[in-house]
Structure 1
Amino acid sequence: MVEMETVGWLPVILSVILVLLNLKASLATFAPADYYLIACGSPQNVTFQSRTFTPDSLQSSFELKVQGNSIAATSSSSVPSPIYQSARIFTSSASYKFKIQQEGRHWVRLYFYPLPDSPHNLSSSTITVITDDFVLLNNFTFKRYNGSYLFKEYSINVTSDALTLTFIPMNNSATFVNGIEVVSVPDALIPDQALILPPSSTFNGLSDLSLETVFRLNMGGPLLTPQNDTLGRIWENDMKYLHVNSSAVNVSVNPSVIRYTMSVTPETAPNWVYATAETMGDTNVPNQNFNLTWIFPVDPNFMYFIRLHFCDIVSKSLNSLVFNAYINSDIALRSLDLSSLTGNLATPYYKDLISNSSMDSNTLTVSVGPDTVADITDAILNGLEIMKISNDARSLDGLISVEGLLPKSSKKSMIGILIGSALGTLAAVGLIAFCYCCLIARRSKTTHQGHPRLPLPVHGNSQTMTKASTTSQKSGTASCISLASSNLGRFFMFQEIMDATNRFDESLLLGVGGFGKVYKGTLEDGTKVAVKRGNPRSEQGLAEFRTEIEMLSKLRHRHLVSLIGYCDERSEMILVYEYMANGPLRSHLYGTDLPSLSWKQRLEICIGAARGLHYLHTGSAQIIIHRDVKTTNILLDENFVAKVADFGLSKTGPALDQTHVSTAVKGSFGYLDPEYFRRQQLTEKSDVYSFGVVLMEVLCGRPALDPALPREQVNIAEWAMSQQKKGMLDQIIDPTLVRMVNGASLKKFGEMAEKCLAEHGVDRPSMGDVLWNLEYALQLEETSLELTEPEDNSTNHITGIPMTPLDPFDHSVSMIDGVISETDDYHQEDAATSAVFSQLVNPRGR
């Protein structure tokens, strides 16, 4: 009987033991597969922060390559730390190549200190550091730096068996480095997704980006060094970043009481971080509903990954601490009840967020405060990490990419290697190609059918598919999305693109966007083009690539940017457009030294863009919703004719029996339709709202979002609407337009913009109505110019002016494969327009 009872309990006992073993394993110290600690230029081992750094001259697991000479320098003077006692100095480009045992996230830590008695004046040296894919430092010099030494920490996802760090001296100076760390970290430490603010939505693709640690704080606690952290991190005290020092009260408990879980381990943060905190406490302020705020200086040109660490070490019972957390002025976490999330007290919890700088344009603020709904007057924060996210140029310092920083000699040597490799295999490849061509010739007598130099049709046809694109598809390149067989227009070979852009010369760079870089190019026949080169690593880019080609291959209109062709060879995603000589509308409104546009020019540009959007909404069998209308996506040709561009986010609209399309929210901050954002229901009225924001940008000559302005003025839609309702829109117009705008024209323009920005889509006009009203505003402006003496710049209020229709625009494109051409679109669009123009003799007629 006893034996049977023992046997019955055995599975339970084994389960408990297994759980305990798993928990112990989860809490075990992480053992990095790659662990390089290098003391550059040192003749011997260096002990620093209880770790041993070995000389770079004795390592066999990495390779140091120097194009010229390197100097190992040491100093007998006092230095900030032992790691700064020596340095490796380079007068030409040099690289450290590390063997990687395990792919994934790695710390890359760099130490710099200009040794005072070195052979070179290191204080004036420039430091540029790149990896295989990312720019870490660009043209840094200690002349512009207040500190005596520089420590940089990066998180880089290594996806090969090697990581190369290249140091490039700039401006004919030397460069140097004192110490290097390359250490594996758990992949789970940095997720691929995080919540982005504002508005609240999911950001995907962090694993493809590099990060730079800019702040890591132990709230209410002491400085923590690598001796206290299983991942070798440094956590500093938060006091100097507090907005009001007296507003915070330090609290702490014994670190041994911290209860880690399977999802939060010591690798997330040391127990000393969770065992200390800042709380609200007794602040001696009249209003207890204040926020505890930290302010950080940041570069406004980057986004930031923010991790908030929480642990309830102040409550005596569950559900007695409920509070809110904010990033800048945006609420990040509402009614946060830690005990409900963790099921216990003294149990760590963290939240990942992504945001940019605040209203001050160069600061980022983090706040916690009481939740007034819960009637609890306390809040807590235990730790904080802020990391800069690499930009579209794959840089953490400026807008120059790795390719733009590589020395010409390096580029030439790379070209030499490529040429050598090509010549080495030329015979074999040539033989295979010859045999393949012979086989094709036997199968088809029409060997030139589908030649890649065919012009782009308005709609795909059977002649569009090329041999080159078919080969690309079979070779397993980016053609896996089956573009080659989709009859989508002219296919460019990658070499043609290289020749057109002078091998993607950075001097031809027109801009950088979410999809990739845009270069100016020249085809063999002299045609100027814009070449958009996508990021092949981005899944979002792949979807945009396909959508852009499919949309533009079906659409032709004078006010839509024309797609000339594409290239998907060598896993590339490249789109070739007509070249728009005057660039984006935004460049002519603010932020550049370009001449200011007149009010008439602005109206004509808005009318052109409205015509393009109206065509998208009405010109084909199914509505097409652009979904990313903004001033950077309205381009101007050499005659300042406006054309709508960038259809990567476009989506076909609802069918006749539907009112909307349910889809994830996509678009640009400042232009997003609030109704679409709230309900995730997309209609063509979402484009109308975005266009209303564009109208206000055109009128005011300022960005849609300007964090440098007072809070109530940050969002142009809210600010301009409030002024419009007060009848004071003329007080916020672009200063260059003051006394240059006809009052009646301005009034009509403001009324139209106000309707576009209505809270609910049903209250907004159609793009046809928007177009009609803009043309009306232009007629008012033109007539006032005719009636006003040249020297008279006064504002006129004119009523009852006879109107004449505008001149028809070019409509030379014919109808192909059932797609409505510009000719037909003109008759459809302007027939309606002509009908309403008869009402213009009486401005009250509509």
Structure 2
Amino acid sequence: MKSINSQSFDLQNQLFPFFLLSFPIILAVRVSGDSSPPYIPVENITIDCGSPNDNTALDGRSWLSDKSSKVFSLVESQNNKSVSSAAPQQPHSSIGQFPFVTARISKSEFTYIFPLTSGPKFVRLYFYPASYPSFDPWKAYFSVRAGGFITFLKDFNASLHAQGEETFVKEFCVNVEEGQRLNLTFIPSTGISDSYAFINGIEIVSIPDSLYYQPADAQGVRFLGQGNVYNIGNDTALELIYRINVGGRQISPAEDTGMFRFWSDDNIFLTEGAPSELPVNVSINLTFGKKPSFSAPKVVYTTARTMGTNKTINEHYKLTWEYPVDSGFNYFVRLHFCEFQIEVTKQGDRVFEIFVANLTAENMADVINWAGGRGIPTYRDYVVGIGRKGNEKKQNLSIALHPAPEWRTKYSDAILNGVEIFKLSSNGNLAGPNPDPEPITTTVSTSSQSGKHQKKINKTTIIGVLVGASGFIILSILCFFIIKRRKRSVKDLASTDGGSFWGGQFSDANKSTKSNNSANLPSDICRYFSLPEIKVATNNFDNVFIIGVGGFGNVYKGFINGGMTPVAIKRLSPESKQGALEFKTEIEMLSQLRYLHLVSLIGYCNDDNEMILVYDYMPHGTLRDHLYDTDNPNLPWKQRLEICIGAARGLHYLHSGAKQTIIHRDVKTTNILLDEKWVAKVSDFGLSKVGPTNMSKAYVSTVVKGSFGYLDPEYYRRQQLTEKSDVYSYGVVLCEVLCARPPISRLVADKSQINLAMWSQKCYRNGNLYQMIDPFLRGKIAPGCLKKYVEVAISCLHDEGIQRPSMSDVVWGLEFALQLQKSAEEEMKLGGAENEIDAEDKHETLIFKEYDLGDESCEGFISSFGITPSDERSSASKDSEVIISGAVFSELHNPQGCRKMARSSDKLKKPCLGFALAILVLLSLSKNVSEAAMINGSSPSSSNANIAEYIGEEELFMESGAAGLNARLLDQPPYLSYDTLERPPAVPGPKYAVALNEMKNRGCQPYTRCRLGGGA
């Protein structure tokens, strides 16, 4: 059988291992052998709480009404009975409407009693925290107990736990003893006035005795860090925290092995790496041996994630996932494995180390050894304790993989197929804390306020509507002329940019709105907010709540969910050059992306000609807010580096981790947000484009859009958008972080400093970096760190996109720079005598490598827009200055690039001609030196000395691969490498050709380092 998207793959004729950097591997699998059928549960009970009738869900499962049934009984107080309540609106649940249409609600205790057979059971509780009639969702605080001795939930509030999702499910495991019944009791919290309990659905499914529980005489599970074992006996209850199909897609309950488990993908938990499919043509017999076939769906064992082909890189990093969990509990961790790659056939082929919660779980993990062969699924179980850490309610439980030492393994790689993480009960308790609510700081009234106050609000609303209607009539007249004038350009935009223009707004067909237009935006991709909800959240768009202004419009800090959850609300301004297209793009793209370093879209509003987006609130604002023109404290260098790494990871995920390549197109410091822990998150996807889908085409043809100072000059000239356009913009961001000044500065004495990117390149060429460093950072950056950081930044600014590194290379370079900084600081602490680590203060001179900066004639790019220097001032000054970088290009029709601009000024011709002559000289020098090297061979000579001086004594090595001879440029340990045939090194230029020819002449063998200053 052939896999989807597979290509012809001849393993005998190509030396291309199946190990890709953090790549999930998708196999077409033929299951054979003694594969048993899916598990058939003894009990499979589904209750639609509050429903008067039985219902059938989309997956075909029947949900029983809780009105009366022989399967269970409902016991409650006769004086204060529960009520059945219909949800105010149908949720957008991936599993369908049922059981979320109705709820069982009560202000007093009520219990469901289930007579069941003995054995372990899954208990799943379904919640839809909506505003049910006469019930405030923020009064729903309650506890849930099972059998009177296990506490599932305590003082639980579903709205707080929803975290922006409309519906969610809590899954537990309990064991029912012989002759017992399972009682599920819902108890409103006594410490909260008018509290009540509610439940939308209950599911109970029998599971095999040996799936998670262990008999009393079993050996137990290794308790990491404790030196003993942990027995998961029948008196232990479990709560599912995560169930992950590593490297693969989500798996629906209907696709499970009969127990209706849901498996998520792993993308949002990866700390680094790029998910991508590997096309192969392999067929394998999947055989279940020691582990039963119901352990996990077959697709879990036929997808995986590995580390990559580069042995050097793999030995210096860990493939890591991080899972937030409640503090103060023990956790049961199950890791699923199956070796199915052709190269891995016997013990010792792939041996690796496993770390769970930073504790060593395995130092010689060998899946072939565990399973008994290739294509045989297996799993390993561990228990780890997550102790309390101050007041932190949650901590990360990490799972990390690392290759074993070279002498232990044939391939320096690791593999993982699936993960399950359960919380273990402690003294009968599984209940964790509610997330912290944000203090209510607004004066907006809620349903709990007096009727008199509510009438006042209603009256104010009516007046506001009347005034707004009058203003709308006037604005409509003005808009008529504006739209008529822009009709032609709008038409061009719609046809060229791949989208449709809707005249300013669109509506969700599944929602009741006051607009008449509609579009094909899916209604279930994110939460829908009504305009009254948004007005309540922002106190009717009170200016006091404005926290920022962007190209889209004002950004407000608001509060939703009864004032408990802070959010950022972005409202389209009538004066904005952005509109319906950007609005739709933002929703469609961002709602489908979930990653640590991407801002999360909670929902949107499209009522009454308003276009509003609702995001997670970022307490620390934008990166620019902490760099210049601000009263905020200066960020230390190491923190700036960590922020840059986070933003780079976000862009790397867009380029390589999403289902389709996404090009952001507006990367800048105002679009990098910082959360409460200073984690960087890329935001504002209104201008984003899906990358090329045709393998034969490496770019997307589109009109030019972006921000002054950040725009890729190659994109501007050719109108061809690639991922490297984002790389250029990010290079400007890196310079901005180092220099603490805007990308375009009018008020500078030196004209060459107007454009930050060009000025940075000039400083780099001249070896004078200290002129551009933020004064606050001087004396605080390690020389090695500074060198590596600037090399990465300048490489991003190359005039030709093909010469720029990928975002993956950028991430590696910045992480390496951070390690150099940390190492230097540690050395300084050990030395104890020096307070500064900057090379300038140590009287050290940094000699930076020459770099091919491309066409300098683009200096005219800024001048053509009328940006001229005025008023002498220092570039590092914090005084106010006009910042033009935030202005967004709407449409730049038929740009002619730097050449056309250069014609407007004779002064710009000289740099172009001078630089062209310089390139010719360098190429001639490269050729002469290369020929001399080939003549002299590997013996030391004057030409070799010249080469060594020219190259800067760098170490290089060669390796063979599917693409042929492939050279990699190495720097300091851990010897980061850069592909040069598919893409150039991070620091390209004529010297690279010299090095390559010299190495060929010396006959360097694969993985053999050659120092150019001496013999091989």
Q: Tell whether the structures are fold-level matches, with TM greater than 0.5.
A: no
Q: Choose between structure 1 and 2 for higher RCO, CA contacts under 8 A separated by at least 6 residues.
A: 2
Q: Which has the higher helix share?
A: 1
